Amino acid sequence: MDYEQVRAVDSAVADALAGEDTRQEETLAMIASENHVSKAVLEAQGSALTNKYAEGYPGKRYYAGCEYADEVEQLAIDRAKELWGAEHVNVQPHSGTQANQAVYFATLDPGDKILSLDLTHGGHLSHGHPANFVGQFYEVEQYEVDPETGYLDYDGLAEMADEFDPDMIVSGYSAYPREVEWERIQDVADDVGAYHLADIAHITGLVAAGVHQSPVGVTDFVTGSTHKTIRAGRGGIVMTSEEHADDIDNAVFPGGQGGPLMHNIAGKAVGFKEALQPDFEEYAQQVVDNADVLAETFADHGFEVVSGGTDTHLVLVDLRESHPDLPGGEAEDALAEAGIVLNANTVPGETRSPFNPSGIRAGTPGLTTRGFDEEATAEVGELIYRVVDNHDDQRVIDEVSERIDELCAAYPLYE
Ligand code: DSN
């Protein structure tokens, strides 16, 4: 985009926006939680709906002039119901964390007990980290993955639930590469009489496309964000049954938010329509196929891949075996210099600081949106290994950077 209007008012912001466009075009976005939305979603998010207050819900607003806001929000709701097969959907949460907040607020009292996965094992801040409001308002215990296999320890989770007697069990993760067996966790929740929240923020698109099993209709609540594998722009979503519909709607508004971000809800509506097209299933399958190839390539070169592979869109590498002196943050920096943007990540059994942990996390949603297939992704896997293995060799970083430039030009983003 040329940002002509912005430039006329504010050249500093116009320069930064143009710089970001170029950065996204000329580097590979491999942060597993990121993706690239279509120009249609961008346009909807940049629309005049940003001006509109629409507190309330379609047909029942606290402001006049909501006829188009109603139309857009109802379309987003109806399309989400069709995509995920949910009885009730709330599309107003500003983010995945605020979607989780709504579920806690609807179901728990301060001091109630939450059982969730530890952050360093793949959980999310909003599942109960002490620095997050969840860790401070509720009593939280955390389960872990099996240190040997990297898979969820379902039996350990059941034992912990038995002892801790939680009011809420949280499943769904930020850095867990394997398929989640929602029904096994639901059985545990049933046994101890706890609610079950499945946070599918990372895998919304995979679930919608049927390439990962769905928790909808299995767990009490499903939350997600709308800008990751589903490509519908920034925001959050809550799905539940009719039984909990009013409680969730009241917890989102007025419980936790004021006016909904109607321009973002327009983006969600457009992105959901795109995801309802037949080619979205192909996209989601390709995301998983590409991640599988990436994991294989890493393993072939000697990286320790957590859990030995992936069933999803992400691959987690524990660098401690192959590169014991290289913290994830330094690997992240060297890769960024070469044009491969991913993030350092904690790994199960983490021994370093969360600010400079022992692993790196790589995702394929962004590459796949650009059109990368398995062959192209395997090449990226090799380039990643090369940079990590030669992180202090500027010549190698420059060579890889040149190849990344070629790949970005061959798979353009916004033509
Ligand atoms: N912070 C995001 C991630 O990178 O996984 C999740 O919200």
Q: pLDDT tier at 35 (50, 70, 90 boundaries)?
A: very high
* Nearest atom within ligand 1 for CA of residue 97: 7
Q: pLDDT tier at 27 (50, 70, 90 boundaries)?
A: very high
Q: Examine residue 254 and say whether the peptide bond preceding it is cis (omega within 30 degrees of 0).
A: yes
Residue 48 has pLDDT above 80, yes or no: yes
- Domains of the chain (ranges; CATH) run 43-275 (3.40.640.10), 279-410 (3.90.1150.10)
Residue 96, Cβ density class (10 Å: 0-12 exposed, 13-18 middle, ≥19 buried): buried
Question: For 171-198, what is the mean pLDDT?
Answer: 98
* Nearest atom within ligand 1 for CA of residue 31: 4
Question: For 53-81, what is the mean pLDDT?
Answer: 98
Q: pLDDT tier at 139 (50, 70, 90 boundaries)?
A: very high
Q: What is the mean pLDDT of the chain?
A: 97
User: 199 CB contacts (<8 Å, ≥6 apart)?
Assistant: 96, 99, 100, 124, 126, 127, 170, 171, 172, 173, 222, 223, 224
Amino acid at 136: Q
Please name the residue whose Cα sits nearest to atom 5 of ligand 1. Answer: 174
Tokens of 248: 């969730």
Ligand 1 centre from 307 Cα, in Å? Answer: 20
Sign of the CA dihedral 56, 57, 59, 64?
A: positive
Q: Specify binding-site residues.
A: 119, 123-125, 242, 353-355
Ligand 1 centre from 175 Cα, in Å? Answer: 8
Chain length of the chain: 415
pLDDT at res. 1: 83
Residue 308 has pLDDT above 80, yes or no: yes
Amino acid at 291: A
Question: For 169-187, what is the mean pLDDT?
Answer: 98
**Best mutation site among 202, 227, 314, 316 for ligand 1 pocket (most ligand atoms within 8 Å of CB):** 202
Asked whether 202 and 32 are in contact (CB, 8 A), the reply is yes
pLDDT at res. 328: 97
Residue 415 has pLDDT above 80, yes or no: no
Ligand 1 centre from 68 Cα, in Å? Answer: 32
How far apart are alpha carbons 302 and 385 in whole angstroms? 9
pLDDT at res. 23: 98
Residue 133 has pLDDT above 80, yes or no: yes
Q: For residue 200, which of 340, 359, 85, 345 has the smallest C-alpha distance?
A: 85
User: pLDDT tens-digit profile of 116-127?
Assistant: 999 999 999 999
Residue 355 has pLDDT above 90, yes or no: no
* Nearest atom within ligand 1 for CA of residue 96: 7
Ligand 1 centre from 63 Cα, in Å? Answer: 34
Please name the residue whose Cα sits nearest to atom 4 of ligand 1. Answer: 33
Residue owning tokens 């040329």:
2
Ligand 1 centre from 33 Cα, in Å? Answer: 5
Model pTM? 0.97
Please name the residue whose Cα sits nearest to atom 2 of ligand 1. Answer: 33
* Nearest atom within ligand 1 for CA of residue 225: 7
The alpha helices in 46-181, defined as continuous H runs, are 67-84, 96-107, 133-137, 154-164
Residue 354 has pLDDT above 90, yes or no: no
Residue 53: count other Cβ atoms within 10 Å of its Cβ.
16
Ligand 1 centre from 60 Cα, in Å? Answer: 33
* Nearest atom within ligand 1 for CA of residue 126: 7
Q: Specify binding-site residues for (6S)-5,6,7,8-tetrahydrofolate.
A: 119, 123-125, 242, 353-355
Residue 128 has pLDDT above 80, yes or no: yes
The DSSP 8-state label assigned to residue 394 in this structure reads: H
Residues at CB less than 6 angstroms from ligand 1? 33, 96, 124, 174, 201
User: pLDDT tens-digit profile of 357-383?
Assistant: 999 999 999 999 999 999 999 999 999
Ligand 1 centre from 170 Cα, in Å? Answer: 16
Give the start-end residues of each E strand in 131-232. Answer: 139-143, 168-171, 195-199, 221-225
Please name the residue whose Cα sits nearest to atom 3 of ligand 1. Answer: 33
